Structure 1
Amino acid sequence: MLSRVIFPTPNPLFITIMSMTSLSFSVIGLFEGLGKNFKYSKFSNFNVEKSTSKQNNTVCGRDGMLVVYIPAFLSAVAFSWLFPNVGLRFLLVKSALTIHFFKRILEVLFVHKYSGGMAVDTVIIITLGYFTTTSITIYALSLTQGFPEPPVDLKYPGVVLFLVGIVGNFYHHHLLSSLRTKNDNGYKVPKGGLFGLVTCPHYFFEILIFLGISFISQTLYTFASTISTICYLMGRSYATRRWYLTKFDDFPKDVKAIIPYVF
């Protein structure tokens, strides 16, 4: 079954090791759901005892997120320059990753509002994760050049998923940002869009983004990294829902974490 939707692995040892390594990070989603969160966003001050030493090991949220996204964006741009003409599928994957991280950078600069900082170690871990995943996603696909296409072609459904994810993710990020006025650093219960159904619709659409990229590339590594991403976002959305329930007495109990009516 997998052989019908995934390219054959040209370098079995390297790709298999990196795919299994990426898949193993799915456990981070479990830790997120249990409350062992990366210290950024609302969780940077949740159940964490502040001290002078801890505050000195943080950077402001905007700077931290720029550091997180810029290396991955530059990686996608660099691969576009190194491999300029290697087929439609490769062009679509490079373009999708470039667009995704360029959008992230623009949101950091012009859309998101920040109420706290990010721990330096969290910045380093997430930066390496995005950079490594982006680089290996493109590299793994480059290794398939000259190999027969999978019998089931998913690249066009992947483009649709990616575009829906990009638009939906941006829209819900905009709704989150509009909750705060210029001098307001507090949290409110989000309204509009899919926020009436799930706590984290922006994560739901982010899953669509990465599913779209994995459908376009159809490599073992990309599917493995996407599964890991889904597990992480599900764990984080579950933790976010629990956070809202503890902070807001009027938070609707029937609102799910990330998948409408399901989870």
Structure 2
Amino acid sequence: MVDVLENKRAATRFRILVEIAERQPAVSQGEIAEAVGVTSQAVSEYIRELVDEGLVEKEGRSRYRVTKEGVDWVFQSASDMRRFVDHVTDDVLGSVQEDAAIAEAALDEGETVSLSLADGLLHAAPGDHGGATGVTTTSAEEGAVVGVTGFEGVIDLEPGHVSVVQVPTVRSAPNGSDADIAAVCADAPIVTAAGVEAVVALRAASVDVTTYFAPGEVAADAASRGLDAVVVATQDTVGRVTDALRDANVGYDVTQ
């Protein structure tokens, strides 16, 4: 398989080629940079390499076209990704026979249940109302863990949003107040910190930190389960956080 899914640089090349193909011949490097999430300088360097390799041809100032070789490379990469997605959905996810849920009432084995997400966790309630259903594989009392299989339908879920708050590094001047941080975090069920300065800033604001390990990934996972999250990050770690959020296709905003 082409390493687009394994190599970040290859993934960036792929996205830039797609953006050029969509916008050609008049190509704005700034717009591509914004769409891909890199700097305009980085886009310029990538395009120069793509031209040198014959995947893109330059027709004039800010005018580019993807060559036949470039189209073939994008097509091959997309085909490989499609095969990988098919493998995941058909072979991997299709082989998942059972999941765990929290029983919202006493349940018997073999009972049809309605499935929902609450606080980011799967819940099972008696009956077949709602958009997603399953069949219990175990018995459980209310509040206990119950096994569920035979999933049908789609769980109604509104994805969460992630607010990324920047704080200065140890060598920078402060750019916010404890009250500002506390206000942003007030209603967020998940608060993560990237960097020691971020941890200290949250403690000074009397905010409990959910975790400071893999903060971007944790926030992205929470948002995918319908929970809003806040990531407080130092100015030199915010890029890694937003990379994780973009990779998970999670909505976010960055404030200072």
Give the TM-score normalised by structure 2. 0.24
- Structure of larger gyration radius: 2
Q: When you count strand as a share of all residues, which structure comes out higher?
A: 2
Q: When you count helix as a share of all residues, which structure comes out higher?
A: 1
Give the TM-score normalised by structure 1. 0.23
